[in-house]
Amino acid sequence: MRSKIRLLCGGAMLALLAAATFTSPAGATSGGFTGQLRSAGFSAAQAAELQSTIDHDPAARGGKQLAANRVEAADGSAITYTLPGEKYAHLLGDGLDGNDARTPFVLCSYGAFCGWPKANYEGSGRTWAACGKYFEIPDGWNSGGSWINNQTHHYTTSMYGKSHNHVFTTDPAYSSDSHGNWGPVWSKNGEITMRM
């Protein structure tokens, strides 16, 4: 079952999607997103593997690929994929280092709640920033994980379990947990399991 989350920010609607500027590498005008990766120094095999990951990610289906490693999901959240050989997700061409532990904290912009399937903010990052809307937590987020709560106005996020029992409430923004646990966060019949 997929888990659901809902962003609630004191009743105020936040219209921003965690925005990060994408700078296209030189020479990336032809060849699409694979060309962008190739221009940035990645091999054809690395570019193909990343594109295959995006193409086969259920969370990306119905969304729009905005950059070589970024998708706006159908629900309005953003998915940023790790680049080949790197631990931390960031946009290709943004000047960040995908092996620098500070990178996830830059990726999670003000007004957003961000999550990762692995501890220490590793792996593809998911950014939610539209308050008052329901979202699905990606498949495979069954244990472990991490999150950053960078919402406005010191808001918290509450997580609920299979029986709609309260599992956890985050500390007010700004807060984070490098060793969280998505395992107890459940969805039953598509009902809400996380409230922000």
What pLDDT, in 10s, does the model give residues 108-164? 989 999 999 999 999 999 998 866 555 667 777 888 899 999 988 888 877 777 777
66 has a pLDDT exceeding 60? yes
pLDDT at 58: 87
CB 124 within 8 A of CB 145: no
Q: How confident is the model at residue 18 (pLDDT cuts 50, 70, 90)?
A: very low
Q: Give the angle subtended at the CA of 52 by the CAs of 48 and 54, to the nearest 5°.
A: 120
99 has a pLDDT exceeding 60? yes
100 has a pLDDT exceeding 80? yes
Q: Which of 85, 65, 118, 104 is nearest to 94 (CA)?
A: 104
- Work out the percent of the chain whose per-residue pLDDT is above 70: 76
Domain layout of the chain by residue ranges: 3-195
Q: At 15, is the secondary structure helix, strand, or coil?
A: coil
What mean pLDDT is predicted for residues 72-78? 88
Q: Tokens 């609607």 belong to which residue?
A: 13
29 has a pLDDT exceeding 90? no
Q: Give the angle subtended at the CA of 147 by the CAs of 122 and 15, to the nearest 5°.
A: 115
What mean pLDDT is predicted for residues 104-110? 91
91 has a pLDDT exceeding 90? yes
Residue 44 burial by CB count (10 A; 0-12/13-18/19+): exposed, middle or buried? exposed
Beta-bridge partner residues of 155: none
68 has a pLDDT exceeding 90? yes
pLDDT at 77: 87
* pTM for this predicted structure: 0.80
Query: Element (H or E) spanning 125, and its range?
Result: strand 125-128
> pLDDT per residue over 170-191, tens digit each?
899 999 999 998 888 875 544 4
